[in-house]
């Protein structure tokens, strides 16, 4: 039974990389030093395909109140160590909003060009359905506001206030699956300057931790924990064990973090993916489709690979050049192969942009090696024309097409899972490193 808390959530849809929303979290917490966390801070990623999204599409939700007991360490800010408590009491949501909304308003344009922030405070949270819709579909502000009213929530809109949607959805999240991310922030005098992270320490951390993911991209030689944008984030490490993340953070050498916070998150959970039939796919959907390859793959200019995928209806499945090994695997597929393609649906050209691939079964393909030998006189028979059988030129005996000698075609792809390199993955992408082995047909 979760402790009753006052949930404070905000979404800042237009920050350049989504990370600024989390920096705002630290500023809000600094300005509420009398309040405690009554649960993990939550970093929630929403539908990556909404047309107006910024790169990250992140929202944050903080369970707040007055905590009891020692609590569990989850950050260090200027106000000191931050702990979250299992027991405590909520505070008045309307008063909380009055205190928090000005902080968001004051800092919203700081570093990131926020356009439509929304702040929501409530004890009675929106239903989980809102989360599932917001991570997979497009939700209207009207629908969200009517649910907030029904729940007695308090909210503040800035400009268009679209951020209220993401904030409410983050609040509505009840994890089925979850990961954590420890985010370390830079000191303000370093914002915009190159980050001083020793790459070797990241590679070493990646090797020495077992439950972190997306740290380092060996295919591109890229350190993935550090963002490329001039935002306040020094690095973020993702993983399945909050305890291990605390150690992982201290293994990174170089520039010293000014502060840090450990979030529970839906990153890496694949919550945005729903199983769909091809005929039901709509533009903007994220979906997994199980089907049969119905054309030979074609490599198009730019190095992308496209093939037809069918389950009764058909769609083009596109594998981007940036997906490297996965793209190469797709190039080795042949008609009749059975696959599961995870991806997002584009409208024009209508296609499924594949973000993860499971090759379930390879069809057997054979190639003709030579015409059959005549069963009567042993001579090599001649073809009677395309689509016809064979006839012996010496004795006139006939044989069907299938009498020719065949050999199996060697395949360059094998049954199994394929995913893009670390730097080409979306925040919600569930890395193979997080997936249990042996669930091959579990779709």
Which of 331/379 has CB closer to Zn ion? 379
Per CB under 5 A, the segment of 73-81, 238-246, 317-325, 393-401 that binds Zn ion is 393-401
- Name the percent of the chain in helix, strand, coil, to the closest 5: 25, 30, 45
- Shortest separation between residue 377's beta carbon and Zn ion, angstroms: 3
Q: Find out whether 305 and 331 touch, Cβ atoms under 8 Å.
A: yes
- Residues forming beta bridges with residue 291, ordered by sequence position: 339
213 burial level (CB within 10 Å; 0-12, 13-18, 19+):
buried
Residues 396-435 that bind Zn ion (CB under 5 A): 397
Read off the DSSP letter of residue 25: H
Closest CB 368 distance from Zn ion, rounded Å: 19
Q: How far is the CB of 382 from Zn ion (least distance, A)?
A: 10
Among positions 298, 366, 395, 443, the unique one binding Zn ion when judged by CB under 5 A: 395
Neighbours of 3 (CB within 10 A): 17
**Cβ closer to Zn ion: 383 or 441?**
383
Smaller CB separation from Zn ion, 213 or 390? 390
Contact between 104 and Zn ion by CB under 5 A: the answer reads: no
| 394 near Zn ion, judged by CB under 5 A | yes
Under a CB-based contact definition with an 8 Å cutoff, are residues 4 and 226 in contact? Answer: no
Residue 251 vs 397, nearer CB to Zn ion: 397
x-or-dash string of contact with Zn ion, 198-217, rule CB under 5 A: --------------------
**CA dihedral defined by 423, 425, 429, 431, rounded to 10 degrees?**
-50
Least distance to Zn ion from the beta carbon of 404, Å?
A: 15
Beta bridge partners of 407: 367
Binding mask 325-354 for Zn ion (x = CB under 5 A): ------------------------------
Is 277 a residue that touches Zn ion (CB under 5 A)?
A: no
Site for Zn ion in 354-383 (CB under 5 A): 374, 376-377
28 alpha-carbon distance from chain centroid: 27
Closest contact distance (angstroms) between CB of 389 and Zn ion is 14
Residue 142 backbone dihedrals phi, psi, to 5 degrees: -60, -45
Distances (CA, A) of 321 to 48, 189, 301, 328, 351: 20, 38, 10, 9, 15
Tell me the number of residues near Zn ion by CB under 5 A: 7
Tokens for 376? Answer: 């009567």
Q: In the complex, which residues of this chain contact Zn ion (CB under 5 A)? A: 374, 376-377, 392, 394-395, 397
């Amino acid at each position: 039974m979760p402790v009753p808390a006052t949930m404070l959530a905000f979404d800042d849809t237009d920050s350049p990389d989504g990370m600024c929303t989390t920096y705002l979290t630290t500023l809000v917490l600094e300005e509420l030093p009398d309040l405690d966390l009554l649960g993990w801070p939550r970093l929630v990623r929403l539908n990556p395909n909404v047309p107006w999204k910024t790169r990250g599409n992140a929202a944050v939700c903080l369970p707040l109140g007055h905590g009891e007991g020692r609590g569990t360490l989850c950050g260090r800010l200027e106000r000191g160590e931050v702990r979250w408590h299992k027991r405590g009491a909520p505070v008045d949501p309307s008063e909380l909003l009055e205190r928090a909304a000005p902080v968001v308003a004051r800092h919203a344009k700081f570093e990131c060009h926020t356009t439509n922030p929304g702040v929501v405070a409530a004890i009675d949270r929106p239903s989980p359905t809102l989360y599932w819709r917001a991570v997979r579909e497009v939700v209207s502000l009207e629908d969200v506001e009517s649910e907030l009213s029904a729940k007695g929530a308090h909210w503040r809109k800035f400009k268009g206030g679209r951020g209220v949607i993401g904030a409410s959805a983050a609040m509505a999240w009840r994890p089925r699956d979850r990961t954590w991310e420890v985010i370390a922030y830079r000191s303000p005098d370093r914002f915009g300057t190159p980050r001083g992270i020793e790459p070797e320490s990241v590679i070493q951390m990646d090797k020495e931790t077992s439950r972190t993911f997306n740290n380092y991209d060996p295919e591109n030689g890229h350190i993935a924990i550090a963002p490329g944008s001039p935002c306040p984030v020094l690095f973020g490490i993702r993983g399945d064990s909050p305890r291990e993340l605390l150690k992982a953070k201290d293994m990174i050498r170089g520039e010293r973090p000014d502060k840090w916070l450990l979030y529970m998150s839906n990153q890496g959970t694949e919550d945005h993916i729903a199983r769909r039939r091809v005929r039901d796919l709509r533009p903007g959907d994220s979906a997994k489709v199980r089907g049969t390859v119905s054309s030979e793959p074609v490599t198009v200019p730019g190095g992308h690979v496209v093939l037809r995928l069918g389950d009764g209806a058909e769609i083009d499945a596109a594998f981007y050049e940036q997906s490297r090994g996965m793209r190469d695997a797709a190039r080795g597929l042949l008609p009749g192969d059975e696959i599961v393609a995870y991806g997002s649906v584009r409208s024009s050209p209508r296609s499924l942009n594949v973000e993860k691939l499971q090759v379930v079964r390879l069809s057997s393909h054979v190639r003709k090696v030579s015409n059959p030998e005549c069963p009567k006189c042993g001579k090599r028979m001649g073809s009677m024309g395309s689509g016809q059988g064979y006839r012996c030129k010496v004795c006139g005996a006939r044989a069907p097409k299938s009498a020719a000698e065949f050999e199996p075609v060697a395949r360059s792809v094998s049954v199994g899972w394929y995913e893009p390199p670390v730097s080409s993955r979306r925040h919600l992408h569930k890395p193979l490193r997080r997936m249990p082995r042996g669930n091959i047909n579990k779709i």
